[in-house]
Amino acid sequence: MVPTPIGNLLDITYRSINILKNVDYIVSENIKHTLILLKYFSIKNKLLSLNICNEKKKKNKYIDMLNNGKNIAIVSKAGTPVINDPGYLLVKYAYSNNIRVVPLPGACAAITALSASGLKTNQFCYEGFLPKKKKSCEKKIYSLCRELRTIILYESPKRLINTITLIKQIMGSKRKITVAKEITKKWEKIKKGTTKEILSTIKNDTNWTKGEITILISGKKKNKNNIVSSKILNTFNILKKETKKSTAIKITAKIFGFNKNILYNNVINKKSNEVD
């Protein structure tokens, strides 16, 4: 598994160049693109194709070649293969054929953007691209609303304004986000701010609607003060009418990212007027 640069060709590693020179075949998502890279580093090798359209069919051929002792390097158009790129089926079948899979470290837009995001990096989740249809996209963002970890998304520049607008509507205008455009390239731009600030920035500068984009969303802040707000109590009261008290507590705690036991002590033990 050989990562290739996500823009700046100098981001390839010595080891990747060495492997690309010495394997029997390079299996590439985009032969034209890979040829530019090979030419730049004076690498001459045989190229074969593997993309989302032919992966199911081609994997058997490549597994046969590997079983016959050939070495194959897998590269995607850019970045780490298999990360929102083809190759997963081939890797999966390699394992079921006892073929060794060797990962090389290297460029990946998600991790590169995260490192410069200014958002928490101790825990994060990678969500790839959001669904294209508006309803499914909204549903997905709602489902990420209570996520405590930093969320990494890939996005097309054409959808950037719409996506940030939805994130603002659903997660609030104060939620912190970082938008990273064209990382490692000439027009690299990284901007951190609230959803409201970022939306205004990208609406006022059409350059943001061109190039490759990675979005990072700050995780939801935990309710540190342990204050059971009236909003939380109202939600509990509504749920309590539909289900058992303990279930209502559990669901309310989940919705608000609140500690279940604190909620229990506040709500059940104190038998607050607001609740009963």
CB of 200 to ligand SAM, least distance (A): 21
Considering only 73, 119, 160, 183, the residue that binds ligand SAM (CB under 6 A) is: 183
How far apart CA 191 and CA 207 sit, in angstroms, is 13
Residues numbered 96 to 155 that lie near ligand SAM (CB under 6 A) are: 108-110, 154-155
Contact residues for 33 (Cβ-Cβ < 8 A; gap 6+): 77, 78
Q: How far is CA 122 from CA 147, 149, 171, in A?
A: 14, 8, 21
Q: Which residues pair with 124 in a beta bridge?
A: 150
Residue number with the smallest Cβ distance to ligand SAM: 79
Sheet of 150-155: strand order equals: 124-129, 150-155, 213-217, 176-181, 189-194
How far apart CA 59 and CA 235 sit, in angstroms, is 51
Considering only 38, 74, 89, 180, the residue that binds ligand SAM (CB under 6 A) is: 180
Contact between 29 and ligand SAM by CB under 6 A: the answer reads: no
Residues numbered 35 to 64 that lie near ligand SAM (CB under 6 A) are: none
Considering only 184, 209, 223, 259, the residue that binds ligand SAM (CB under 6 A) is: 184
CB of 188 to ligand SAM, least distance (A): 7
Closer residue to ligand SAM, CB minimum distance, 101 or 227: 101
Span near ligand SAM by CB under 6 A; candidates 53-61, 77-85, 116-124, 246-254: 77-85
Span near ligand SAM by CB under 6 A; candidates 14-22, 54-62, 168-176, 183-191: 183-191
Contact between 80 and ligand SAM by CB under 6 A: the answer reads: yes
Closer residue to ligand SAM, CB minimum distance, 27 or 180: 180
The DSSP-derived string for 28-92 is ES-HHHHHHHHHHTT----EEE--TTTHHHHHHHHHHHHHTT--EEEE-SSBSTTSSSS-HHHHH
CB of 69 to ligand SAM, least distance (A): 28
Instruction: For the beta carbon of residue 156, count every other beta carbon within 10 angstroms.
Output: 13
Run of H or E residues at 189: strand 189-194
The phi-psi region of residue 7 (left if phi > 0; otherwise alpha if psi is between -120 and 50; otherwise beta) is left
Please provide the distance, in angstroms rounded to a whole number, between the alpha carbons at the two ends of the chain.
60
Considering only 85, 90, 220, 232, the residue that binds ligand SAM (CB under 6 A) is: 85
Contact between 84 and ligand SAM by CB under 6 A: the answer reads: yes
- Binding footprint of ligand SAM on the chain (CB under 6 A): 6-7, 76, 78-80, 83-85, 108-110, 154-155, 180-185, 212-214
